[in-house]
Amino acid sequence: MLVDGDYCLVDFHWVQWVPPLRLMDPINLHQIAVEAMRSRGLLPAFAPQALREAEAARRAGPERNGSITDLRHLTWFSIDNDDTRDLDQLSVAEPLPDGTTRLLVAVADVDAMVQPGGAIDGHAGVNTTSVYTAAGVFPMLPEMLSTDLTSLHEGEDRLAVVVDMVVQADGTVTRSDVYRAAVLNRAKLTYNGVSAWLDGVAPAPPQVDSVPGLADQLRWHDALAGQLRQLRQARGALNVKTVAARPVFEGGQLVDLRPDEKNRAKDLIADLMIAANAATARFLQHKGFPSLRRFLKAPRRWDRIVALAAGHGVQLPAAPDALALDGFLRARRLADPDGFADLSLAVVKMLGSGEYAAAPAGAAGLAHFGLAVNDYAHSTAPNRRFPDLVTQRLLKAALADEAPPYSVEALTEIARHCTVQEDNASKVERQVLKAAGAYLMHERIGETFDAIVTGAAAKGTFVRIGRPLLEGRVVRGFEGLDVGDNLRVKLVAVDAAQSFIDFERA
């Protein structure tokens, strides 16, 4: 499965929440993160007015105007990281007599408690995303909301915007609708627990025995995700294997940066959310509303991807071709499963990052090269992404037969700003992670490591090593290197305060 961002290409990134460290933090990662955010135009703290608004929203409760369907009787559940507290979506499935499957995805109704134009909305509009660093999470919304009142916690009645779809056996979504509903999360499950059970290597999560019908739900979801994925892959969706670094703390002390790899349950949720995001875009298009779309251009370094494939004896077309690229990737996964993650990283780096764009009323959106979908709108994570909150407001206005709350011109500016700030947030996350890595490596100067080139441009050549999983700059011997090259490097210098790790070609 692909992820959109520095290491991946889908529009989800899974991270472990790490509490801010202060007492046992010899390099003061939290302060490094705060300063990095400020230097990138991001707000590390909420203004007092925003916190007062959150408290007022808590006292008043969510806005309940309009038609709300009561779906609390369904077997809703969530799957997320072990310690995730900002739960954005639930889902439930129902096989139908004609061989199709009904899939419902419930997205937290954040707009019901975040007033447009208020101080909270202003903070969210500046940052546009939660920032996940090795020093802790800087949430887009006050935690009183994002990890409590607007989070779809197990056992709590919540308002949601539901995307209701009918999926054919071949993965085609033949019908979809959007409406508001009341929902109840019956089970908060974890990626690792569900994945291990589906793979048959661990017993079922405890909730499977205590919640009637949950085991069937998980099996239906797994089968449905496979159908959705196969259809997208037939259209050219890229199937890559990517890993991200996860900070590991023991007793409040940073001890390692380990790979946080994908698994079956993460892919399952990603496939369902991709379907829901596409259905959301089609709904707004059908209603004649403008919208925010997510897209990925054809690869900017297709020539280098062609060269990588040629190095494995495969000739790709001269022009970008997703189907041909996915065929090459599938063959390499089978031929060299151990080296596939490095190849995936090289390809993802050369694909670049996704962007936001405004689509006028009724217009089709731009294509997403990596996901093989058109008309794709971020909508499933409004607790942590501002474009999703904007899309939710558009959806609710369309449902209420009201005028769009945003003009095309306003959406164009929001799209531009969100693209910029998402990049800034990624840079902050990388900077803090590199500071953490520099701290871990300060006693390993002179050691050599296997590495892969992850960036080669005028600003420098960068490589990634595997253990600990981190990136650094090649300051000597970088001539002739390009993305995807494998080499040995020697660590020559680190500086945690300045967030740099320097290697030379060994």
Read off the pLDDT of residues 211-237 as tens digits, 9 standing for 90 and up: 999 999 999 999 999 999 999 988 888
pLDDT over 70 (residue 490): yes
* pLDDT reported for residue 462: 94
- Mean pLDDT across the stretch 240-253? 73
Beta-carbon neighbour count of residue 165 at 10 Å? 25
Residue 17: pLDDT over 70: no
Which pLDDT value is given to residue 37?
97
Q: Which pLDDT does position 411 carry in this prediction?
A: 97
Q: Is the pLDDT of residue 21 over 50?
A: no
Is the Cβ–Cβ distance between 140 and 425 less than 8 Å? no
User: What is the 3 state secondary structure string of 307-372?
Assistant: HHHHHCCCCCCCCCCHHHHHHHHHHHHHHCCCCHHHHHHHHHHHHCCCEEEEECCCCCCCCECCCC
Residue 146 has a pLDDT of: 96
Average pLDDT value for residue range 76-100:
94
Q: Which domains does the chain have, with CATH numbers?
A: 29-296+353-436 (no CATH), 442-506 (2.40.50.140)
Average pLDDT over the chain reads 89
Tell me what pLDDT residue 237 has.
81
CA distances from 266 to 170, 235, 290 (A): 21, 21, 31
* Phi and psi at residue 54, to the nearest 5°: -60, -40
So what's the pLDDT on residue 288?
Answer: 95
Q: Is the pLDDT of residue 468 over 90?
A: no
> Could you report the per-residue pLDDT of 133-173, keeping only the tens digit for each?
888 889 999 999 999 999 999 999 999 999 999 999 999 99
Per cent of the chain over pLDDT 70 is: 93
- Using only C-alpha atoms, the chain has a radius of gyration, in whole angstroms, of 23
Report pLDDT for 416.
Answer: 98
d(CA 232, CA 370): 10
Strand-pair category, 173-190 with 76-80: parallel
Q: Are 11 and 478 in contact (CB under 8 A)?
A: no
* Mean pLDDT calculated for residue range 68-90: 94
Diameter over CA atoms, the chain: 66
What span, in angstroms and rounded, lies between the C-alpha atoms of 207 and 205?
6
Whole-number pLDDT of residue 257: 80
The position carrying tokens 């003061």 is 28
CB 455 within 8 A of CB 461: yes
Better-scored residue on pLDDT, 111 or 3: 111
Least Cα distance to 163 among 61, 70, 90 occurs for: 90
Range with top average pLDDT, 120-129, 255-264, 459-468, 470-479: 120-129
* pLDDT score of 247: 76
Burial zone of 9 (CB within 10 Å; 0-12 exposed, 13-18 middle, 19+ buried): buried
The SS3 assignment for 454 reads: strand
pLDDT digits (tens, 9 = 90+) for 251-306: 666 778 877 778 999 999 999 999 999 999 999 999 999 999 998 888 888 999 99
Please give the structure tokens belonging to residue 464.
Answer: 């990634």
Note whether 346 and 483 are within 8 A (CB). Answer: yes
Answer whether residue 499 shows pLDDT above 70.
yes
Contact 268, 224 (CB under 8 A): no
User: 337-370, pLDDT tens digit by residue?
Assistant: 888 888 888 888 888 888 999 999 877 666 788 7
Token pair, residue 40, equals: 């990138």
